């Protein structure tokens, strides 16, 4: 009932706190249904009704004590039910406040009985006080969440697991009952709401326009015509005359259909009526029509879209009625029916192709004669034309599709195109043989078909020429047609071929365009396990591009594929059947792996219950099973929900185990999964407790496989975010290995290596190790790179290294600080911030820091100007750097000249604690020059700073106290502070254990006090 309550019930406008249910008919009916439900539960389901709520429902009741009967213990001020659980009464009413607490449904029902006429009011009060009763009844994990709802699954799992928890079953039943109620409530309220919906002119106009676009002469249209009776449209959108508009008429339509006589229709705000026989058809009529209209539309578009030659031919075939075959036993042979239909046009297509080939041959000869330039030019033209055609096709067919499924589509396309260009230049002998075999496929009964299918497998189907030959002679259509027959053998044979040739990207597209995926998804329901395997494997091959993945999802493929995963847990002895089940699961996982590259598919897999199944398969000992399973998980781990599941379903353990597998591919996927999941702290700890860090380090030292290396170093990077892991890594001496990887690796590896070093360098020992294995040089060199992600990591790593003074001297000698400083000029805020952070330890630890900073021409102006950034992280890092810069008096003078005081003051109104801390630091440091203290006071920085003391962060307190101490040397500032109540706040902070804070606070108060004393003295003089 949670959803119904949040969505359907009409609450008063008050957004937060206790809202009131409005007194509307809808709400009353809702309340009545809920009352009925409570009574029904307690009478029909006593067991569930006795289930004690996790938290009692609590509300302010108007019931009189006297109303309670013998079941209750009535004292002066309270009523307590005699029924108790563990000594706690199930109902408590406190008369003085009127608050009532109820813990079971049976008590609720009794209460309603007592309430009699007040029933409605009590229920209303109860629901108003408990906006999400389910959460209280069944526990917070069942709180109503907008959108999808996993609570059911969770509960189911609980029930599955637990004999130890008998309560779960009752809970489950109760939950189901509540859900039922929810649905019922929603349905009734929907009915009520829809009664009130009325038609408006705009809606009708849209419908008419839509229908008009599908009408005209010809077979493919829905209607012959649809027109208004009047061309004149009033300003309110109606076309009916004003005296009819009073009655709600909007317009009148004349509709010519293909199969009935002309219809006259009146559109009224109350609905659409057919004139003459006055049949009331609610709004459903036009919508139904539009639905009908959709089918031919697709077909229509389909047919106009068809560009390529064979598709044209195909269309031609379809239009021709298939000649009736004359063999005796034809009735039983569904396959041959299809074959024969195709056969008739087949001869035609062969002729066509022959002609085409001749043309190509002559072209070839010519080509040889032409000079090289011409060839190149023609090739270019050809490519451009292809690209264009392809583009148009994609634009037309993709028009309706949403663009959610990001990723590498365009790259895939380009790849396809390049390949397309290569083909079609010369025709090998296989082409003719394949053409012949396809002919028998088309024109044979199932025996001939099977022979043809078997012989087709003898061709080298991995060869692109053969793959394209099959497509070019129209083999794909036939193979897909075969999938739609009843013949298992034909299906198996066809799928075996499709499985192979669908490895070719062009074939993939053609198959998807020919509607092959839909049929294969259907085959997943088959009882034949071989067929299921083959279909899933083929889907796995085809679903390598976005639209195919979408098609699989839209036709319910994800659910079916997830269904395939459900095989018996692996045991030592397997029957042949079980082995097949495992094979089916493997193929299912393969297909899901391909599909999981789309975000929506990831959601679909989760919703179909794929995660526990994947977790189960992850325990499998078989490598060929593990690769697709881990691949899928790894792909999905980009979603937070999956990361959570991987952690909670105890998958980390198995991922770690497989890091030490034989297969490099499996190792890579595991490392990638850990890389993605280790964003989460608990997962990082799990990796360590399952002894995963050792194997990771081992992988890092294998430098021949770049992908594996990138994955492993990525995992090390993310794991190293936890200091405990860094400790472990220190023992494993990973830093030395990583440093050896700083040179000569591709960028994807470098980013991770440097990221890992940056995290590891937080440990002083590792900082030293980096220096000793001469890692500083390569790191500083990388500062000149261009890759943004790499630069962010490099700056961080250099910054961490610079904390060590010895490292710093090397960085200085390599001119690293200048490089860092110049990165401040990059437009990317991430780089700016990370460079500014890195500068802090550099300035702090450099020997002649002030001199060095001054030597950067225009450097100080640059960094001060970054205070105009919008990015909080940039601002905070720049403040921190400015605090360090201001240590040097001369530099402080320069930045003061650049207007740093004004800019810092303008930032003081921030609410971000990190920025506050660094800002206060910077203010404290900048106070030490000239009349900056006064300037801060004049620019209004003091009052907001005082309020920082109310923040929760002790670091902010310290920095602020120091800033205030500095500012308090100016009497005017003291007055402002005092006005803002600083004394009380500082006094509160003085019992802190932080000495710096204590000192600053005390100093500040001393300054204020001194001013007051001086003031008094002056007065009494």
Partner 1 sequence: MSRIRPLDMSRKQYQQLADTLCKLTKRFNRHEVQCLMKVFSTLVATFPEQRIAVGLDRNKFRNVLHTTFGLTDDMITDRVFRVFDRDNDSFVNMREWIEGLSIILRGTLDEKIKFCFEVFDLNGDGFISREEMFHMLKSSLIKQPTEEDPDEGVKDLVEIALKKMDYDHDNKVSYADFEKAVKVDNLLLEAFGSCLPDSKSALAFEEQAFKKNKDD
DSSP class of 325: P
Site for partner 1 in 434-473 (CB under 8 A): 436-437, 439-440, 443-448, 450-455, 457-458
Residue 283 · residue 196 · CB < 8 Å: no
β-pair type (84-85, 78-81): unpaired
Name residues whose C-beta falls within 8 Å of residue 472's C-beta, 6 or more positions apart in sequence: 310, 353, 431
Cα–Cα distance measured from residue 304 to residue 292, given in angstroms and rounded to the nearest whole number = 20
336 interacts with partner 1 by CB under 8 A: yes
CB of residue 344 to partner 1, shortest distance in Å: 9
488 interacts with partner 1 by CB under 8 A: yes
- Of 75-83, 331-339, 907-915, 971-979, the segment contacting partner 1 by CB under 8 A is 331-339
Cα–Cα distance measured from residue 972 to residue 865, given in angstroms and rounded to the nearest whole number = 29
Residue 780 · residue 771 · CB < 8 Å: no
Cα–Cα distance measured from residue 207 to residue 202, given in angstroms and rounded to the nearest whole number = 9
Residue 625 · residue 575 · CB < 8 Å: no
Q: By rule CB under 8 A, what string of x and - marks binding of each residue 287-326 to partner 1?
A: --------------------------------------x-
231 interacts with partner 1 by CB under 8 A: no
Residue 407, CA distances (Å) to 397, 403, 606, 910 in order: 19, 10, 20, 37
Site for partner 1 in 29-68 (CB under 8 A): none
CB of residue 452 to partner 1, shortest distance in Å: 7
By CB under 8 A, name the one of 489, 580, 762, 818 that touches partner 1: 489
Cα–Cα distance measured from residue 532 to residue 582, given in angstroms and rounded to the nearest whole number = 12
562 φ, ψ to 5°?
A: -60, -35
Q: Which is nearer to partner 1, 450 or 636 (CB)?
A: 450
Q: Which is nearer to partner 1, 333 or 748 (CB)?
A: 333
Site for partner 1 in 490-519 (CB under 8 A): 492-493
CB of residue 576 to partner 1, shortest distance in Å: 12
Beta-bridge partner residues of 84: 89
CB of residue 303 to partner 1, shortest distance in Å: 27
By CB under 8 A, name the one of 230, 284, 528, 650 that touches partner 1: 528
By CB under 8 A, name the one of 122, 249, 333, 970 that touches partner 1: 333
Cα–Cα distance measured from residue 59 to residue 681, given in angstroms and rounded to the nearest whole number = 40
Q: Which is nearer to partner 1, 333 or 812 (CB)?
A: 333
Name residues whose C-beta falls within 8 Å of residue 929's C-beta, 6 or more positions apart in sequence: 886, 889, 892, 893, 896
Q: Which is nearer to partner 1, 76 or 326 (CB)?
A: 326
CB of residue 493 to partner 1, shortest distance in Å: 5
Cα angle for residues 386, 389, 392 (degrees, 5° grid): 145
CB of residue 42 to partner 1, shortest distance in Å: 46
CB of residue 441 to partner 1, shortest distance in Å: 11
Q: Which is nearer to partner 1, 332 or 1017 (CB)?
A: 332
Q: Which is nearer to partner 1, 360 or 447 (CB)?
A: 447
CB of residue 318 to partner 1, shortest distance in Å: 19
CB of residue 525 to partner 1, shortest distance in Å: 14
Q: Which is nearer to partner 1, 328 or 369 (CB)?
A: 328
DSSP class of 215: B
Element (DSSP H or E) covering residue 558: helix 557-564
Of 508, 510, 518, 515, the closest CA to residue 542 belongs to 508
Q: Which is nearer to partner 1, 322 or 940 (CB)?
A: 322
Q: Which is nearer to partner 1, 86 or 329 (CB)?
A: 329
CB of residue 473 to partner 1, shortest distance in Å: 16
CB of residue 523 to partner 1, shortest distance in Å: 15
Site for partner 1 in 718-777 (CB under 8 A): none
DSSP class of 332: G
Which residue do the tokens 């779960």 mark? 168
Cα–Cα distance measured from residue 4 to residue 482, given in angstroms and rounded to the nearest whole number = 49
Of 925, 904, 909, 916, the closest CA to residue 954 belongs to 916
325 φ, ψ to 5°?
A: -75, 155
Cα–Cα distance measured from residue 914 to residue 878, given in angstroms and rounded to the nearest whole number = 12
How many residues of this chain interact with partner 1, rule: CB under 8 A?
A: 34
Q: Which is nearer to partner 1, 472 or 487 (CB)?
A: 487
CB of residue 299 to partner 1, shortest distance in Å: 28
| Site residues, partner 1 (CB under 8 A) | 325, 327, 329, 332-333, 336, 339-340, 343, 347, 436-437, 439-440, 443-448, 450-455, 457-458, 487-489, 492-493, 528
């Amino acid at each position: 009932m949670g959803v119904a309550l949040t969505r359907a019930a009409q609450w008063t406008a008050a957004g937060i706190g206790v809202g009131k249910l409005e007194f509307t008919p809808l709400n009353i009916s809702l309340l009545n249904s809920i009352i009925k439900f409570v009574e029904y539960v307690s009478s029909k389901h006593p067991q569930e009704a006795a289930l004690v709520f996790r938290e009692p429902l609590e509300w302010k009741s108007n019931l009189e004590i006297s109303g309670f009967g013998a079941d209750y213990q009535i004292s002066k001020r309270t009523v307590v039910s005699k029924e108790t659980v563990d000594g706690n009464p199930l109902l408590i009413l406190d008369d003085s406040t009127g608050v009532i607490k109820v813990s079971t449904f049976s008590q609720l029902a009794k209460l309603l009985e007592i309430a009699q006429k007040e029933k409605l009011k009590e229920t209303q009060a109860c629901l108003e006080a408990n906006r999400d009763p389910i959460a209280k009844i069944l526990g917070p994990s069942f709180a109503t969440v907008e959108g999808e709802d996993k609570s059911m699954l969770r509960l189911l799992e609980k029930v599955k697991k637990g004999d130890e928890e008998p309560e779960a079953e009752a809970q489950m039943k109760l939950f189901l009952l509540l859900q039922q109620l929810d649905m019922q409530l929603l349905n009734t309220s929907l009915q009520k709401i829809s009664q009130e919906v009325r038609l408006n002119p705009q809606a009708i106009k849209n419908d008419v326009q839509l229908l008009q676009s599908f009408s005209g002469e010809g077979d493919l249209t829905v209607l012959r015509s649809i027109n208004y009776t009047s061309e004149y449209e009033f300003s309110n959108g109606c076309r009916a005359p004003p005296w009819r508009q009073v009655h709600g008429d909007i317009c009148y339509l004349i509709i010519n259909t293909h199969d009935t006589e002309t219809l006259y229709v009146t559109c009224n705000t109350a609905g659409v009526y057919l004139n003459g026989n006055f049949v009331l058809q609610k709004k459903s009529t036009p919508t139904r029509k539009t639905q009908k209209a959709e089918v031919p539309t697709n077909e229509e578009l389909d047919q106009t879209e068809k560009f390529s030659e064979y598709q044209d031919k195909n269309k031609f075939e379809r239009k021709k009625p298939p000649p009736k075959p004359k063999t005796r036993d034809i009735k039983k042979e569904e396959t041959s029916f299809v074959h024969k239909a195709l056969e008739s046009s087949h001869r035609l297509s062969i002729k066509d192709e022959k002609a085409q080939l001749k043309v190509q041959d002559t072209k070839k000869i010519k080509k040889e004669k032409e000079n090289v330039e011409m060839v190149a030019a023609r090739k270019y033209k050809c490519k451009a034309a292809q690209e264009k055609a392809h583009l148009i096709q994609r634009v037309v067919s993709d028009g309706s599709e949403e663009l959610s499924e990001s990723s590498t589509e365009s790259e895939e396309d380009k790849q396809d195109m390049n390949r397309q260009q290569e083909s079609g230049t010369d025709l090998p002998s296989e082409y003719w043989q394949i053409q012949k075999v396809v002919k028998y496929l088309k024109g044979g009964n199932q025996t001939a078909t099977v022979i043809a299918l078997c012989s087709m497998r003898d061709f080298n189907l991995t060869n692109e020429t053969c793959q394209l030959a099959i497509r070019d002679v129209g083999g794909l259509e036939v193979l897909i047609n075969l999938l739609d027959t009843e013949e298992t053998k034909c299906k198996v044979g066809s799928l075996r071929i499709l499985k192979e040739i669908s490895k070719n990207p062009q074939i993939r597209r053609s198959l998807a365009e020919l509607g092959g995926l839909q049929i294969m998804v259907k085959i997943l329901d088959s009882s034949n396990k071989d067929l299921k395997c083959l279909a899933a494997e083929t889907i796995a091959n085809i679903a390598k591009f976005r639209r195919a993945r979408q098609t699989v999802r839209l036709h319910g493929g994800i659910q079916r594929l997830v269904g395939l995963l459900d095989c018996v847990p692996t045991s030592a002895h397997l029957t042949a059947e079980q082995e097949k089940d495992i094979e089916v699961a493997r193929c299912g996982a393969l297909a899901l792996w391909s599909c999981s590259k789309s975000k929506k598919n990831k959601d679909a897999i989760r919703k179909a219950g794929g995660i526990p199944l994947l977790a189960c398969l992850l325990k499998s000992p078989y490598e060929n099973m593990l690769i697709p399973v881990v691949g899928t998980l790894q792909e999905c781990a980009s979603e937070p929900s999956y990361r959570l599941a991987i952690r909670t379903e105890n998958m980390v353990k198995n991922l770690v185990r497989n890091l030490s597998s034989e297969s490099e591919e499996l190792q890579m996927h595991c490392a990638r999964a850990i890389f993605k999941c280790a964003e989460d702290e608990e997962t990082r700890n799990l990796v360590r407790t399952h002894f995963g860090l050792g194997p990771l380090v081992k992988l890092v030292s294998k430098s021949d496989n770049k992908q594996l290396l990138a994955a492993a170093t990525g995992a090390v990077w993310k794991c190293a975010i936890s200091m405990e892991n860094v400790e472990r890594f220190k023992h494993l001496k990973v830093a030395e290995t990583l440093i050896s990887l700083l040179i000569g690796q591709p960028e994807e590896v470098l980013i991770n290596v440097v990221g890992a070093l940056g995290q590891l360098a937080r440990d002083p020992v590792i900082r030293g190790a980096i220096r000793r294995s001469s890692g500083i040089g390569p790191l500083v060199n990388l500062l000149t790179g261009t890759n943004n992600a790499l630069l962010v990591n490099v700056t961080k790593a250099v910054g961490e290294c610079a904390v060590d003074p010895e490292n710093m001297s090397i960085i200085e000698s390599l001119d690293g600080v200048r490089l860092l400083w110049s990165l401040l000029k990059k437009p990317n805020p991430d780089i700016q911030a990370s460079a500014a952070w890195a500068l802090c330890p550099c300035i702090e630890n450099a020997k002649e820091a002030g001199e060095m900073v001054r030597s950067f021409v225009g450097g100080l102006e640059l960094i001060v100007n970054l205070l105009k950034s919008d990015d909080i992280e940039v601002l905070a890092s720049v403040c921190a750097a400015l605090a360090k810069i201001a240590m040097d008096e001369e530099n402080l003078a320069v930045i003061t000249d650049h207007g740093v005081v004004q800019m810092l003051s303008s930032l003081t109104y921030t609410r971000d604690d990190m920025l506050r801390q660094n800002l206060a630091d910077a203010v404290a440091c900048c106070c030490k020059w000239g009349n900056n203290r006064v300037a801060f006071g004049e620019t209004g920085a003091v009052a907001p700073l005082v309020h920082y003391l109310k923040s929760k962060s002790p670091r902010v307190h310290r920095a602020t106290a120091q800033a205030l101490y500095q500012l308090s040397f100016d009497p005017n500032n003291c007055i402002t502070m005092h006005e803002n109540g600083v004394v009380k706040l500082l006094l509160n902070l003085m019992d802190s254990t932080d000495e710096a804070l204590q000192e600053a606070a005390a100093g500040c108060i001393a300054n204020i006090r001194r001013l007051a004393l001086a003031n008094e003295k002056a007065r009494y003089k």
